Structure 1
Amino acid sequence: MATYDKKKLELVQLNTHDVKSLIELSISVGWDYDKYEIETVLSSGIIFGHKNAEGKVVSSAAIISYDTNLASIGMVIVNKEFRGLGLGKEATQKCIDFAAINKSIMLIATEEGKPLYEKMGFRTVDCVHKYLCDNYTKSSKVLIKDGVTIEDFNNIDINKIVDLDKASFGDKRSNFLLNRINQSEQCLVVKDYNGNIIGYGISIRGPINLILGPIVAPDTETAALILDRLAFNHHGKLRIDVPSGNEEFMLFLEQRGFNKVSEPPIMVLHSENMPPRNNTLFGIAAQIFG
């Protein structure tokens, strides 16, 4: 690791002019943020980071504040050449300071970052289950479920999706969902026989994986139906991060060719536990969004 003068590194709020440099920072640590993902983060929250004398972004941390009681921190990255200077801690603290004083803050940590977050007061309350798939095993026929239909998202569906998401996630996140749907490869809604929306699912095309999530459904069978439709015509790698307590759904994933690769810890600050959830969240949006 080279030696750098920390005084020449400025912690600033980043913007759309920094997207290219943020992509390069992401690539430098083996992560796969692309232009569209970073733009969704910027339109949903705030990114802070250090710049060197040449204006290159050498660290980052993002915070997305949701509508009422919760915020999520992610995208905590430090260029390998600039580690050991406390940049990750400074950028993360800037995010914490930016959040409203009454908000609980969550993050999904890497094992490498967990000790830092513990020193900053975060505590582990749960984990997510990261699954990857190289070749999705399609069923011999498209999955169906009696009494429900699955359709493409229509703009008139947004308020119901926001309500379903709030109950499943633990906070209302209307701005983020609008941005995520605009970014999506597909957004599907599930309706019961009365035409009521009872679930939804989103897929996001990244540079490496098709990211599946959020997936919100009243039961495992419906969640499997949504995932199968999102993945059915995709040729390539897939990823989904599943909250704990969904063992039956995870078994379905493994039968379809997914492999669990890690269990990143969920950590919280200013709270003892995760916000109340109704057990209908089968896939999260992404680790940065909680």
Structure 2
Amino acid sequence: MTSADDLTIRPLTLADLTACLDLAEANDWSREEHRWRLMLASGQGYGIDAPPTDPEGGLLAAVVRTSYAHQLHAVGMMLVARRRQRQGLGQRMMRRVIEDAAGAPLLLTATGQGRGLYERLGFKALGEIITLVGTFTAPPPEPATTAPVLVRPATAADLPEILAYDLPAFGADRTELLTRLPSYAERFLVARDRAGRLVGYGAAWPNVTTTSVGPLVADDLAVARALLTPLALDTPLPARVDVSDLHPELATWLAARGLTGDGRTTLMVHGLAAAPGDPARRFAPFSMAHG
């Protein structure tokens, strides 16, 4: 058998989309074509091909690094073929990702299975994320006189403000990713206060079995809930929201609205002592793979 050190790591492109989906499916992941397409278009994919002596062929491993103006990098879609797990492929891929980040911090979300690998590579746990899924039930309407904000669809004219609003909240420039939201998301909304000031934005996008809500960035919980209702209500598939343990009140509110789940992952960082930006304003990530 060819050792991990003898296998070449190469860039992945959109031409590798089907191979990535096959690898994901073989690991019991959904064939998330919409997300993989975005990841490969907006990030740097890495892959290891099976050697000619492997009768199954295809990709043996894949991972994607999304760079936010080289200030921060998100790592996602880390996969190793079952027949080659625990043979050093994942560690070798991650070392390459860390090297290519050139000293900039990295952010990722780890499953229980992968957390040990990331800890050995120097990643530190920041907290947990719970995934809630279900058919969202609208809360009782608030009187117009007490509604905290006006929520409406985002327009091209809103985008410069959204980018400026997101930068201190996320802690790095996500222009390259966020400018793709109008074509990627099914719903893209902004919230403004009575003075017209931008106080939050959010999106919802289609996945295989759910409609994922994220990113969701807001001044406070009230604004986040005001955005969530039109984002999660009457979605074509059950709504999914990934909630940090920094926001237990939001998780409780979503549970009361019909979303349930106990799936937990760990937010981890490499090269920082604490979470970047302002985590209190980040109510849902763009996706687990994007941070």
TM over 0.5: yes
Q: Distance in 2 between matches of 1:94 and 1:124?
A: 21
1:137 matches 2:137:
yes
3-state DSSP class of the match of 1:116?
helix
Which of 68, 72, 75 aligns to 1:73? It is: 75
3-state DSSP class of the match of 1:58?
strand
Structure 1 residues 273 and 139, CA gap change in structure 2 (3 angstroms): closer
Q: 2:49 — aligned with what? A: 51
Which of 90, 93, 110 aligns to 2:92? It is: 90
Structure 1 residues 198 and 43, CA gap change in structure 2 (3 angstroms): same
The one-letter code sitting in structure 2 at the alignment partner of 1:6 is S
3-state DSSP class of the match of 1:264?
strand
Q: 2:185 — aligned with what? A: 184
Note the residue ranges of structure 1 that are not aligned, 5 or more in a row. Answer: none
The one-letter code sitting in structure 2 at the alignment partner of 1:181 is P
1:247 matches 2:267:
no
Q: 2:19 — aligned with what? A: 21
| Equivalent residue runs for 1:190-201 within 5 Å | 190-201=191-202
Q: Distance in 2 between matches of 1:142 and 1:277?
A: 28
Identity, in percent, stands at 24
Shift of 1:140: 5.3
Structure 1 residues 129 and 185, CA gap change in structure 2 (3 angstroms): same
Q: 2:62 — aligned with what? A: 60
Shift of 1:179: 2.1
Shift of 1:199: 0.8
The one-letter code sitting in structure 2 at the alignment partner of 1:70 is L
Q: Distance in 2 between matches of 1:42 and 1:33?
A: 14
The one-letter code sitting in structure 2 at the alignment partner of 1:16 is L
- TM superposition score normalised by structure 2: 0.91
Structure 1 residues 186 and 10, CA gap change in structure 2 (3 angstroms): same
Q: Distance in 2 between matches of 1:52 and 1:62?
A: 18
Q: Distance in 1 between matches of 2:131 and 2:143?
A: 24
| Equivalent residue runs for 1:5-20 within 5 Å | 5-6=2-3, 9-20=7-18
Q: Distance in 2 between matches of 1:154 and 1:143?
A: 26
The one-letter code sitting in structure 2 at the alignment partner of 1:177 is L
Shift of 1:189: 0.7
The one-letter code sitting in structure 1 at the alignment partner of 2:224 is A
Note the residue ranges of structure 2 that are not aligned, 5 or more in a row. Answer: none
Q: Deviations over 1:77-130 (max 9, x none)?
A: 1111221221111111111111132x1111111110111111111121222222
Q: 1:174 — aligned with what? A: 175
Q: 1:107 — aligned with what? A: 108
Which of 24, 31, 34 aligns to 2:32? It is: 34
Shift of 1:205: 0.3
Q: Deviations over 1:25-71 (max 9, x none)?
A: 11122223522211211222101011113661121111111125211
The one-letter code sitting in structure 1 at the alignment partner of 2:139 is S
Q: Distance in 2 between matches of 1:148 and 1:261?
A: 31
1:217–1:282 CA contact under 8 A, matched in 2: yes
2:211–2:239 CA contact under 8 A, matched in 1: yes
Shift of 1:141: 4.6
How many residues are aligned here? 285
Q: Distance in 2 between matches of 1:60 and 1:284?
A: 22
Shift of 1:132: 1.9
1:199–1:217 CA contact under 8 A, matched in 2: yes
3-state DSSP class of the match of 2:180?
helix
Q: Distance in 2 between matches of 1:9 and 1:143?
A: 63
The one-letter code sitting in structure 2 at the alignment partner of 1:132 is V
- TM superposition score normalised by structure 1: 0.91
Q: Deviations over 1:190-231 (max 9, x none)?
A: 112222221111001011110001111112122111111011
Q: 1:287 — aligned with what? A: 288
Q: 1:237 — aligned with what? A: 238
1:269 matches 2:270:
yes
Structure 1 residues 48 and 141, CA gap change in structure 2 (3 angstroms): same
2:199–2:223 CA contact under 8 A, matched in 1: no
2:44–2:65 CA contact under 8 A, matched in 1: yes
1:43–1:179 CA contact under 8 A, matched in 2: no
